[in-house]
Chain A
């Protein structure tokens, strides 16, 4: 019974995620061209694309083994073109959920629903499977967050160093002396 709870290898997932995420970032920067003035709209669009890229690379790193990764990939693939289809499937999923409703879990029904909404693909599962998926999803989210933090740190440091290299060295020294 515990076979379902055996965690998948986090290192490989992390590696795959990092590679695909960094690749996506590179692609994003290439398409964006030179440094654009960070308007709100532009920033928001970038944010959205980076977010989608992170979820997509996470889901592809996990593969199709998990229901939530499959749901995420499906959502991303059909995001733009099949919005109507998604609505239909969501309705189907909701009806399925209703069928599978367990009157025995009335106490936690509210939370169950919330969890279903949170975990991608959690609409059409029974509670037991939902908990499984939640556990794996939490693990992957955590690795995703830590990896993105590191990527961001590297990027920021690179930016700073780049600024320094661009001739802002004097400026840095000035700020240092000012603080003193």
Chain B
């Protein structure tokens, strides 16, 4: 929960990379450093609750600011933190050294938070002994998580900041980390842990930000706790998810020790379980076994932390992973899927896909005129196809019209098609009161192009001023005078038709047009 909060709050910090990864790693980097200092200073127990979260987040924010060039966009607010319930781990408090013997069932982050509070001055983060106060399975899980976090941050921070003070602690931390990983091994989850730890402790690899780091983070994130990952993904999704996750995280942490999600629940898996949780609040998804952890580790390598795509790959990979763990899950979870829906991750991903598609279809519905009343995908698709076809035909027809008109143009075309005319074109086309669809029924009704001018132009709402402007530009004044009479006549008729159209809201039918054409209608033969 804390982690979730922190993740959520730290999210906006890093803009260049996947926010979740960075934020998580940032946070974790804060924790180990704090922890170290805490152990040294043997600070007292901080009262748990939201205050801790606030303070820790604030302090971490401070620290983040101190070493992060990015701006902390999101203010760390009490409200944002308020929704997470912090379970104070009893053990963690009592542990000065935060050694592995701490039987903290609560939040490691609590301890870390405390540490964070007292380490505002340490810009460089040493990924260290965070794990070493994890004794429980849950602790171990978090430890692994943090190790991964810290590992990532280690490389990241090391590049940026030189903290000579921490060098000694670094080695100490590394040793402790290794020790912790031994502990993990004893815990039986050695494989995923050590893998992750090895990955974590390759600071050379983490020299650069960007995609390689990101990828590594994803790899390392496999041992991350479910909660963190889910929370991370949840922040991507929506706030409600976050709240749910945090609450679930509470349940998880308090729950069975099998919540060794650090085992390597893939992010995708987490996403999948997230979705399960969306459906069921009583979820107690036990973390996958070692085998699934391996799968998750592999899946993680393929996974993408891209927020926009977490859902999709999460669903897909969650499929693979969950299938293996479906059976063991059943023993522990009572997943309540949506009424009448399957709980299979396969169907979950499919549901996601369907939601995406329905979202796009709604958008298309707004685009295509006359589709608001239509319901159903098939009918909508038909309408869309018809509309696209009609638009394409329209363009072809208009280009055909242009082709017939063009040869009739004299050498004035260059004068005509000047920038002025283009501007008026753009202005006119933007002010078209009717969609071009309405032009189509009119155009075929008239044989001669000039016959189309009046209804067409009136349909377009092209003002006579614009026309005059476009026409006047290439012509000399003398010419204008000679043609002014005819032009004025024509313009008058155009005005009439335009006014008629404006008055009538309904589209003009062909009969209306022919009947309403003023007697002075110019029938120029082209």
Contacts and interface: CB of A to CB of B under 8 A. Distances in A.
A156 B449 CA distance: 8
A180 B522 CA distance: 11
A19 B367 CA distance: 25
Given A35-B409, A169-B486, A138 B524 contact: no
Given A149-B456, A173-B486, A175-B522, A159 B408 contact: yes
A35 B408 CA distance: 6
Interface in A28-56: 28-30, 32, 34-38, 42-44, 46-47, 49-51, 53-55
A8 to B, nearest CB: 13
B357 A151 contact: no
Contact of B399 (A50, A139, A160, A168): A50
Contacts of B384: 115, 134, 138
Given A25-B402, A50-B403, A145-B395, A153 B409 contact: no
A22 B308 contact: no
Interface stretch (A75-83, A87-95, A106-114): A106-114
Interface in A110-166: 111-112, 114-115, 118-119, 127-128, 131-132, 134-135, 137-139, 141-166
Interface stretch (B147-155, B207-215, B220-228, B411-419): B411-419
A155 B395 contact: no
B519 A161 contact: no
Contacts of B449: 156
B396 interface: yes
Contacts of A66: none
Contacts of A171: 524
B407 A128 contact: no
A68 B457 CA distance: 31
Interface in B352-400: 353, 356-357, 359-361, 363-364, 367-368, 377-378, 381-382, 384-385, 387-389, 391-392, 394-396, 398-400
A103 to B, nearest CB: 11
B460 A149 contact: yes
Given A5-B360, A14-B426, A22-B417, A152 B407 contact: no
Interface string B410-453: 11111011000110111011101001100100000000011011
A21 B486 CA distance: 30
Interface stretch (B121-129, B324-332, B471-479): B471-479
- Kindly state the interface size class of chain A when it binds its partner: 35 or more
A146 B41 CA distance: 74
A107 B425 CA distance: 43
A141 B406 contact: no
Contact of B388 (A15, A118, A148, A162): A118
- In terms of DSSP, what is the predominant structure of the interface of chain B? helix
Q: How large is the interface on B (under 10, 10 to 19, 20 to 34, 35 or more residues)?
A: 35 or more
Contact of B520 (A18, A119, A127, A179): A179
Contacts of B402: 25, 47, 50, 148, 151-152, 155
A161 B482 CA distance: 11
**Chain A residues touching B, majority SS:** helix
Interface in B474-526: 474-475, 479, 482-483, 485-487, 489-490, 519-524, 526
A132 B363 CA distance: 9
B333 interface: no
Contacts of A65: none
Interface of B: 308, 350, 353, 356-357, 359-361, 363-364, 367-368, 377-378, 381-382, 384-385, 387-389, 391-392, 394-396, 398-414, 416-417, 421-422, 424-426, 428-430, 432, 435-436, 439, 449-450, 452-453, 456-457, 460, 462, 467, 470-471, 474-475, 479, 482-483, 485-487, 489-490, 519-524, 526
Given A111-B381, A141-B395, A151-B425, 16 more contacts: A19-B422, A29-B413, A30-B414, A38-B408, A46-B406, A51-B395, A128-B356, A135-B360, A138-B391, A146-B429, A157-B453, A158-B409, A158-B471, A159-B410, A160-B522, A161-B475
12 contacts: A22-B421, A32-B406, A51-B396, A142-B391, A149-B432, A150-B425, A151-B425, A154-B416, A154-B424, A156-B405, A158-B413, A163-B526
